[in-house]
């Protein structure tokens, strides 16, 4: 499959298509614009909440009916803050934010490049055993210095008015922001996930977490002190404090632009007990085209991982939940599987 995909993308020429391209279901595949990812994320949130009887599902349906539901996703490269607004004079209103370079990995790479590898936003990582038996390495991690580095990064906000093209969006008055993907993990580590709260309260709690220099009863696992050295856990431990500082920066800028505007936010990875992903929105859109006994397969070729999902239309016309078929966590599958020598798949 990977060989076929690579051959398709590398050979694509509208005037001279290969047999692979003529025969494959990949025909016409393009990189999805951030706008569409935002649309599918919003559709996924609505779809997952449709049959839910829990309080969050009910609140989501209520806000969706009022056009006050906002999808907020930070992926590997891009960031979408999508309230489902239409363009006016070829630009989106100020509450919509589409960024091609504010994903978690994009921020990481930009910090490295700007500081020539000497960023104050990352921290060393040691194993639990080494922490007990060896001196800790020196750490350049500094919250204030990292804040300055983050604020200095250029934001590429597209399809927006030029006057706000390097800023975070304004809050949608009365809106409910459903933040997921990297945002969920940053909020979870700061202790504010899975709770609906005003955006200003979320910002206050993030700041309170970052102000801690040692663990306490509220945050007994870990905090982000100056000179932080993390213990290896299997997560991207060198980035966890940076992720929270990036979340702080974004919320701070959104609140600063929104005097007199109130909105709520929840950081979650599931809606109605089901995993939240924009791929659910893609499947929802494709449902009318799928016959009984057939299934939709959605591939998410992200910059940090590749995931494959499936949803089945049963013979009785019911639909299965979106099911994960597999996940490659080693980054962009087209890059990580690239052969040293040229490979061809003959069909």
Q: What is the pLDDT of residues 18-77, one digit of tens each?
A: 554 444 444 445 566 777 889 999 999 999 999 999 999 999 999 999 999 999 999 988
What is the bridge-based pairing of β-strands 306-312 and 197-198? unpaired
Tokens representing residue 265 in the block: 């936010």
DSSP string, 61-85: HHHHHTT-EEEEEE-SS-EEEE--P
What is the pLDDT at residue 302? 67
Distances (CA, A) of 238 to 117, 234, 242, 245: 13, 11, 8, 13
What is the pLDDT at residue 142? 97
Question: What is the reported pTM?
Answer: 0.84
What is the pLDDT at residue 330? 64
254: number of Cβ within 10 Å: 26
Which residues in the chain come in under a pLDDT of 50?
Answer: 1, 4, 8, 12, 17, 20-28, 345-347
Query: What whole-number distance in Å separates Cα of residue 154 and Cα of residue 45?
Result: 30
Distances (CA, A) of 133 to 9, 126, 203, 227, 234: 50, 11, 38, 19, 20
8 Å CB contact between 14 and 27: no
Distances (CA, A) of 151 to 137, 140, 170, 250, 253: 27, 18, 17, 9, 10
Domains of the chain and CATH, by start: 2-30+290-336 (no CATH), 34-271 (3.30.420)
What is the pLDDT at residue 320? 85
């Amino acid at each position: 499959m990977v060989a076929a995909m690579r051959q398709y993308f590398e050979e694509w020429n509208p005037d001279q298509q290969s047999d692979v391209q003529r025969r494959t279901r990949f025909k016409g595949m393009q990189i999805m614009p951030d706008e569409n990812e935002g649309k599918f994320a919003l559709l996924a949130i609505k779809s997952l909440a449709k049959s839910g009887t829990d309080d969050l599902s009910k609140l989501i349906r209520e806000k969706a009916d009022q056009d006050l539901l906002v999808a907020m996703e930070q992926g590997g490269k891009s960031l979408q803050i999508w309230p489902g607004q239409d363009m006016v004079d070829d630009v989106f209103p100020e509450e919509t934010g589409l960024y091609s370079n504010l994903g978690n990995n994009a921020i990481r790479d930009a910090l490295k490049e700007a500081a020539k590898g000497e960023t104050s936003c990352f921290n060393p990582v040691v194993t639990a055993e080494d922490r007990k038996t060896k001196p800790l390495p020196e750490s350049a991690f500094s919250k204030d210095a990292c804040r300055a580095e983050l604020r200095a990064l250029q934001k590429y906000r597209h399809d927006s008015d030029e006057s706000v093209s390097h800023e975070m969006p304004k809050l949608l008055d009365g809106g409910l922001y459903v933040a997921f993907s990297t945002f969920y993990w940053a909020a979870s580590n700061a202790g504010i996930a899975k709770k609906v709260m005003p955006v200003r309260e979320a910002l206050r709690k993030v700041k309170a977490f970052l102000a801690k220099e040692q663990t306490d009863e509220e945050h007994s696992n870990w905090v982000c002190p100056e000179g932080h050295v993390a213990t290896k856990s299997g997560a991207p431990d060198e980035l966890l404090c940076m992720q929270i500082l990036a979340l702080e920066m974004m919320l701070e800028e959104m609140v600063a632009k929104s005097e007199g505007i109130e909105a709520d936010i929840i950081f979650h990875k599931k809606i109605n007990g089901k995993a939240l992903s924009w791929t659910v929105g893609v499947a929802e859109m494709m449902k009318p085209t799928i016959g009984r006994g057939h299934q939709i397969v959605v591939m998410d070729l992200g910059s940090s991982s590749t995931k494959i999902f499936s949803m089945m239309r049963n013979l009785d016309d019911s639909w299965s939940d979106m099911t994960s078929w597999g996940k490659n966590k080693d980054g962009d599958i087209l890059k990580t599987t690239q052969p040293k020598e040229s490979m061809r798949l003959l069909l």
